Amino acid sequence: MLDDTTVLMSASAPRTAALLRERGLEVVTTPVTEFEKLEGCVTCLSVRVR
């Protein structure tokens, strides 16, 4: 999650994005197809900052 109500996710999962939007979350999608080809995902590209 980017904050309490915003989720960043792959653009290749539109049905999941729709479900999350229905539950009140703001969904930001981005194409990460090149990373997915290498079995990566958005989580692999994230850095947690406390």
Residue 50 within any structural domain of the chain = no
How much is the pLDDT for 1?
A: 67
User: Quick check: helix, strand or coil at residue 40?
Assistant: coil
Give a yes or no: residue 1 inside a domain: no
Taking only Cα atoms into account, the Rg of the chain, rounded to an integer number of angstroms, comes to 11
Domain that holds residue 36: 6-45
pLDDT in tens, 1-50: 678 999 988 898 999 999 999 999 999 998 887 777 777 776 766 767 67
Residue 18 structure tokens: 């729709």
Q: Which residue has the tokens 């999350």?
A: 20
pTM: 0.69
Q: Can you say whether residue 28 is alpha, beta or left, with left for phi > 0 and alpha for psi between -120 and 50 degrees? A: beta
Instruction: Provide the domain count of the chain.
Output: 1
pLDDT confidence of residue 34 = 79
